Chain A
Amino acid sequence: MTAVEERPTTEVGQPRKRKEDERLITGRTRWTDNLTLPGMLHLAMARSPMAHARITSVDADQARQAPGVLAVLTGADLAEVQGELPNAWMLTPEQKAPSHPSVAVDRVAFAGEIVAVVVARSAAEARDAVELVDVDYEELPVALDLKAAAADETLAHPDLGTNVSAVRTFDSAEEGTGGDVDEAIAKARDGGVVIEREYRQQRLIPAFMEPRSIVVDPTGEQLTVWSSTQVPHFVKIFISLVLGVPEHKVRVIAPDVGGGFGGKLQFTPEEALTVIAARRTGRPCKYTESRSESMMSGHHGRDQWQTLTLAADRDGTVTGLKVELLADMGAYLGLVTSAIPFLGALMFNGIYKFPAYRWTCTNVFTNKTWTDAYRGAGRPEATFAIERLMDELAAELDMDPLEVREKNWIKHDEFPFTTVAGLHYDSGNYEAATERAKELLGYDELRREQTERRDNNDPVQLGIGISTYTEMCGLAPSRWLGSMGYVGGGWEHGSVRVLPTGKVEVVAGTSPHGQGHETAWSQIVADRLGVAFEDIEVLHGDTQIAARGLDTYGSRSLAVGAMAVLAAADKVIEKARPIAAHLMEASPDDLEFSEGQFKVKGTDTAKALGDVAFAVFQGHDLPDDVDRSLDADATFDPDTFSFPHGTHLCAVEVDTETGGTSIRKYVCVDDVGAVVNPLIVEGQVHGGVVQGVAQALFEEAVHDEAGTLVSASLVDYLVPVAADMPTFDTDRTETPSVTNPLGVKGVGEAGTIASTPAVVNAIVDALRPMGVRDVPMPCSPHRVWQAIESASNGGAA
């Protein structure tokens, strides 16, 4: 654990407007699809319309003759060279996975899987020729329903012999972190309360706004790859490992990237195939997906059944929690597919001090697009479950849901706290965030209005939804990741270079795609080096510039990446110190560094960092043993995660006659530790909350009985529009993390993790007097209406 530093700041904490904006608001952007290179060819993909079928023949002759076509590559053509797409997490040592080719060779396992690649002079010619690729399929039975698939009723991959990829279990009694959950449940059945529920986390699509695009230039000594990816460093190493291109011959650039939300945390078949096509033809190649291709073939998120048992005493004290997860992997394992439900399983206990916990996570294959990280990655699912359960417990005991929560949550003077799941929570103050949220919402007043509406049988009922969440942020500790089955590490790298004119270049191993790192990292370095915000340039997203890095996901960039940058800045100061001392004929120990100046203590003699940099550049008068540069590299690998938290409260009006819902007020008080730029933090909260609300109300990836994704366009997949959303009231409390020197946590995923249960809890709260106990997501008017109907017909909805 690191103590948070007490230092005066002038930049950190300020709502600086973003450096990134100017090019983005004027159209001077560098999206991958903007690139045109001399002689560039275009790829289009022939994709399987079948969810599960044997490929009996692929006839590409006609396509090969089509105008402008240079090549058509089939699975048979590439079987020996395409390698296997990677999965980087062994949930168990016995984890099963099917082979995962970029282009299917003899069998397809989901609708949208690539069966042939057309390379042509123009994108239009390539797409035209795709229509001429004639593939014969022999249909195979499809495994679509998750529960049926878990029971191996139909096999998604007959060769595997089972659909179950892995089963992992955790038991607090066995691990020594708590008691025996079965005992707790048995006891609660005899005089206490047992809440048993089953919740569905529907399948979602990340739906980043920029469709993925790849350009590969094979003409130089190095293969240069531009990709709209969150993870250029991953793409580089996997081009090497999967396709056999020597690592030092690959350069990957993530230029402007239009959103990701986990959806661009992948090494994709399209990336591999564009590399193959460029190397085969010797010409630059581009592939840009259409929106429907993006929705069909880009990885999906969520998709779980959760079977939950919560045991409690009659006073509301929870005594145990049992969680059984069925998680849909889809057809293949992507980079971290198998770990997503596991990352959630560590956190079903949420902010609470449960004495006993057991989880089982069963990962199952189906014939659908594979799943992987999507904003929150396991934690939204966990938070939904526990926050719904706490409401159900409160209802069962006729207590206020906030009171039940407070009875069970970790008090702020109990941090740091090791949970029953074995995680070390760094800091938090749930009392403060909740108090503030209640005040902002007008909690007591709305409860009074709710009572009135109930008493008057108002057709429009009011519900108040609560979500007191925490999440693990800053995917890092390399040792921990290794011990949990991940093949990679979690450190981060940063460099700081003071140029001869005193300007500063910061090189970050993280790779932003909307998060504003250029601005925030500038603020951090400006404070540290005493250099003007405007005099700092942040470089990233190019493996030739940022040679080392592990990229951006899991709310890790600030809590891990920026700390590496900060450490590099400190190294620069220490490199400059003996030089400054030499120039001022003083002892290094007599110098203090502040506001960009080395000062000889107790005198007026001073030397600016920029002056030292110029002296280093000249090299005329330096001590013998110093480097001729003010450049420094550093890495950061924290001991543990950081755990932001917050309280979101949501008031929803539900029209009991139509099932229509309307968010009347939404209040979020988030505690993300110390804040570098409140403007950016607030923006992350807004966007995050909307993605979570979208899960509650609108979005669902729907397949038909044949396994075709029918919500494969933005007509059918309901990404919210402005008119669907209210204005959110945001505020913060600030409990610094103790895992890093700035006391920061992370904010990228918080809103999405918090908001889904807040909305659903509000809808159920509104309808509880009518006998409604649940509404399956997305809570469309039809589903809300059905829940009311079913409850009024005597069934518990």
Chain B
Amino acid sequence: MTRINVDVDGVAYSDEVEPRMTLVQYLRDVLGKTGTVVGCDTSNCGSCTVHLDGRSVKSCAVLAVQADGHSVTTIEGLATNGELHPVQQAFHDTHALQCGFCTPGMIMQSLDLLQDNPSPDETEIREGLEGNLCRCTGYQNIVRAVQQAASSAGGAS
């Protein structure tokens, strides 16, 4: 067991973890932050995407011990004082989710994409979301959501 200190959604945690525990297992099973989900075992689906020090990572492909000393933001940490984050709002406004299982990862990746490129065109959005699978929406409304979030933020996320 190894001790790690991690800031998750603004709260400092200190825990003993098994070296083989992944970050997503730590979030879900140790911290009870079940907003982040696991959809595959090959890092293809992107459902588990969170931010590590502000950049998106697939939390199934990061060990909990690698997060030691770092800060993690999950879907649960985006809304502030009950106000949805503009990307969350955009997903709602444009019907960019159906079953919603991929949605936490999709939103976290969209944020990352908008940080890199505040005014992406459609192709850039589609390519920027290539690591995240959605089986319900056909992606069209997800693209619209990212476009709306980009314009509502005036080109900055």
Contacts and interface: CB of A to CB of B under 8 A. Distances in A.
Given A17-B93, A514-B99, A686 B141 contact: yes
A688 B98 CA distance: 12
Nearest to A28: B35
A514 B100 contact: yes
A75 interface: no
Interface string A1-30: 000000000000000011011101111110
Interface stretch (A253-261, A348-356, A390-398, A761-769): A253-261
A290 B91 CA distance: 28
B100 A24 contact: yes
B135 A259 contact: yes
A26 B84 contact: yes
B142 A25 contact: no
Residue with the greatest number of chain A CB neighbours at <10 A, chosen from B29, B41, B130: B41
A265 to B, nearest CB: 15
B143 A291 contact: no
Given A24-B97, A27-B36, A680-B95, A209 B130 contact: no
A87 interface: no
Interface in B35-57: 35-42, 44-45, 47
A619 interface: no
Contacts of B153: none
Contact of A25 (B40, B92, B138, B140): B92
Given A514-B99, A714-B45, A689 B92 contact: no
B140 A34 contact: no
A679 to B, nearest CB: 5
A31 B134 contact: no
B138 A715 contact: no
Chain B interface residue bracket vs A: 35 or more
A683 B137 contact: yes
B76 interface: yes
A209 B133 contact: yes
Given A17-B93, A18-B95, A683-B141, A25 B42 contact: no
Interface in A447-466: none
A698 interface: no
A259 B101 contact: yes
B117 interface: no
Residue with the greatest number of chain B CB neighbours at <10 A, chosen from A17, A686, A722: A722
Contact of B99 (A124, A513, A715, A723): A513
Nearest to A207: B135
B129 A722 contact: yes
A209 B49 CA distance: 14
Contacts of B92: 17-18, 21-22, 25
Given A27-B104, A261-B135, A727 B99 contact: no
A292 B39 CA distance: 10
Interface string B75-87: 1101100001000
A24 B37 CA distance: 11
B127 A723 contact: yes
A480 interface: no
Contacts of B33: 27
Chain A interface residue bracket vs B: 35 or more
A621 B109 CA distance: 60
A27 B35 contact: yes
B101 A713 contact: no
B71 interface: no
A399 interface: no
Interface string B108-148: 00000000000000110111011111111111111100000
Given A516-B98, A713-B42, A24 B103 contact: yes
A261 B136 CA distance: 9
B78 to A, nearest CB: 7
A24 B97 CA distance: 8
Interface string A185-214: 000000000000000000000011111000
Residue with the greatest number of chain A CB neighbours at <10 A, chosen from B40, B44, B104, B133: B40
Contacts of A733: none
Given A26-B76, A258-B100, A291-B41, A725 B95 contact: no
B72 interface: no
A18 B95 CA distance: 7
Given A26-B79, A26-B84, A686-B141, A715 B136 contact: no
A713 B141 CA distance: 26
A27 to B, nearest CB: 2
Contacts of B143: 722, 727
Interface in A713-743: 713-715, 719, 721-723, 725, 727-728
A750 to B, nearest CB: 13
B34 A25 contact: no
Interface in A249-296: 256-259, 261, 290-292
A723 B138 CA distance: 11
B157 interface: no
B59 interface: no
A690 interface: yes
A683 B133 CA distance: 16
Contacts of A727: 122, 140, 143
A725 B125 CA distance: 12
B107 interface: yes
Nearest to A122: B29
Nearest to B97: A24
Nearest to B34: A34
A25 B91 contact: yes
Contact of B133 (A261, A513, A714): A714
A515 interface: yes
A687 B100 contact: no
B67 interface: no
B102 interface: yes
A78 B49 CA distance: 40
A207 B99 CA distance: 13
Contacts of B131: 721
Contacts of A680: 95
Given A291-B39, A714-B40, A722-B126, A27 B75 contact: yes
B136 A687 contact: yes
A699 to B, nearest CB: 11
Nearest to A23: B100
B137 A210 contact: no
B97 A687 contact: no
A210 B135 CA distance: 10
A29 B136 contact: no
Nearest to A261: B135
Nearest to A292: B41
A719 B133 contact: yes
Contact of A722 (B45, B76, B125): B125
B93 A687 contact: no
Given A683-B98, A721-B133, A26 B41 contact: no
Nearest to A727: B140
B76 A259 contact: no
A257 B135 CA distance: 13
A26 B88 contact: yes
A795 B106 CA distance: 47
A513 B135 CA distance: 12
A514 B98 contact: yes
A669 to B, nearest CB: 16
A19 to B, nearest CB: 10
Interface of B: 18, 20, 28-29, 32-42, 44-45, 47, 74-76, 78-79, 84, 88, 91-93, 95, 97-104, 107, 122-123, 125-127, 129-143
Given A18-B92, A27-B35, A721-B133, 20 more contacts: A17-B93, A17-B95, A18-B95, A21-B100, A24-B97, A27-B104, A28-B76, A31-B34, A33-B37, A33-B38, A34-B34, A36-B29, A208-B135, A209-B99, A209-B133, A258-B100, A259-B99, A714-B44, A715-B44, A721-B132
16 contacts: A26-B79, A124-B18, A124-B20, A209-B135, A210-B101, A258-B99, A291-B39, A514-B98, A683-B136, A687-B138, A713-B44, A714-B42, A719-B135, A721-B132, A723-B123, A723-B127
The 3 closest A-B pairs by CB, nearest first: A27-B35, A24-B100, A258-B101
